[in-house]
Amino acid sequence: MDPQRPRPLDRITVVSLEHAIAAPFCTRQLADLGARVIKVERPGSGDFARAYDERVAGMASHFVWTNRSKESLTLDVKSPDANDVLDRLLESTDVLVQNLAPGAAARLGLSFETLHERFPQLIVCDISGYGSDGPYRRKKAYDLLIQSEAGFLSTTGTPDEDGMAKAGCSIADISAGMYAYSSILSALMLRQQTGEGSHIDVSMLETLVEWMGYPLYYAYQGAEPPPRAGASHATIYPYGPFPAGDSRAVMLGLQNEREWQAFCERVLGDPGLASDPRYASNAQRSANRDSLHRLICQAFADLTADEVIERLEKAQIANAHVNDMHGVWQHPQLAARQRWTTIESPAGELPALLPPGRSNAFQARMDAVPALGEHSERILEELGYRDSEIQRLKTQGVI
């Protein structure tokens, strides 16, 4: 595909006062679609996610993931000189994104109400833990804390008292970043109709609670919530991991009675089990999952994981390998669909997954991960600053 074909957000400029994951994940996706994203970072240290770890050729894994295709502008936003820089930036900006500490943006004069008077077309997206109002509005929020408040932890892990488990990725940050991203796209569409920018208030709590819709309704009007079931499904069975004879696990899932009968006949080799009254419906299979688990494990004990999957495939039973990260790097489906590319970074070339949602109309932007302050001077030159002014700002630690 011609990389010069226009992208959906080619003429959109985004300025982001961002750190950690939620806002950077949002703006990286805007950059994927062609937006120019100017990432404002603290001089000297930058986004604190830069220092989370050193797993990617000396760079942080979170940072590499969420910050490609951006320009890094270092700016001490508390300095009086920063006000002029931000004003000049916002004159030609379409979207301002921020996930600073609660109330910090407003204290800097960057609330929607203040900015809308001077920049009526500007879209402002505020991302916070709990939203801009309500009793929790000033409460600090991190991903794990939101997982806890949203009830997510009550549904994950094992049934024992201390068995709760967090998600293995920053799911609350990711949900907030996704809703911020989609909300900004809708605000850009709305601006085409009204000519005016709008304010988006994204709460991490609300985005993750939205994803908890199934367990919430399952516990409607005081009903018993779904139990923690480890890697198995809480209410459908068999649906989860089962060990094969070679000590590898196979993930499988049944959705209906036709599949249950095929599973008994063609996978377990026990057609009579399909009519066993203990397992005659999903509700009964789920209630008697311990005994059914033993039967399945016994049937798989003399088979390798690949042999189990072969049987499941022939029976048209949904299944999956239980991959670790090394397995995902080498996943044959991702390779067959050519989903990996390379990007530049301060440490050299790195592999990167192309954005989900392959389009035949344009090629996603896959530019470099920026070094801290890499674009500061160039951006200030674009804003009309002279060399002597730029050097003064640098000497004074403003950039």
Same domain membership, residue 189 and residue 102: yes
**Cα–Cα distance measured from residue 93 to residue 124, given in angstroms and rounded to the nearest whole number:** 10
Same domain membership, residue 253 and residue 120: no
350-353 vs 340-343, strand pairing mode = antiparallel
Q: Final residue of a domain: which of 322, 357, 387?
A: 322
* 170 and 177 Cβ atoms separated by less than 8 Å: no
Q: Which residues of the chain, if any, have pLDDT below 70?
A: 1
Same domain membership, residue 201 and residue 80: yes
pLDDT in tens, 308-324: 999 999 999 999 999 99
pLDDT in tens, 131-175: 999 999 999 999 999 999 999 999 999 988 788 999 999 999 999
Same domain membership, residue 244 and residue 191: no
Residue 156 lies in a domain: yes
Please name the residues in contact with 331: beta carbons below 8 A apart, sequence gap of 6 or more: 323
Please name the residues in contact with 92: beta carbons below 8 A apart, sequence gap of 6 or more: 13
* 230 and 240 Cβ atoms separated by less than 8 Å: yes
pLDDT at 1: 65
Same domain membership, residue 350 and residue 312: no
Measure the CA dihedral 207/49/69/390, to 10°.
120
Same domain membership, residue 261 and residue 170: no
Query: Which CATH number is 243's domain given?
Result: 3.30.1540.10
- For 151, the domain range is 13-211+339-395
pLDDT at 3: 72
Please name the residues in contact with 192: beta carbons below 8 A apart, sequence gap of 6 or more: none
pLDDT in tens, 224-234: 998 898 888 88
Residue 290 lies in a domain: yes
Query: Which CATH number is 360's domain given?
Result: 3.40.50.10540
Number of independent structural domains in the chain? 2
pLDDT at 4: 80
**Cα–Cα distance measured from residue 358 to residue 370, given in angstroms and rounded to the nearest whole number:** 25
Q: How many other β-carbons are positioned within 10 Å of the β-carbon of residue 255?
A: 12
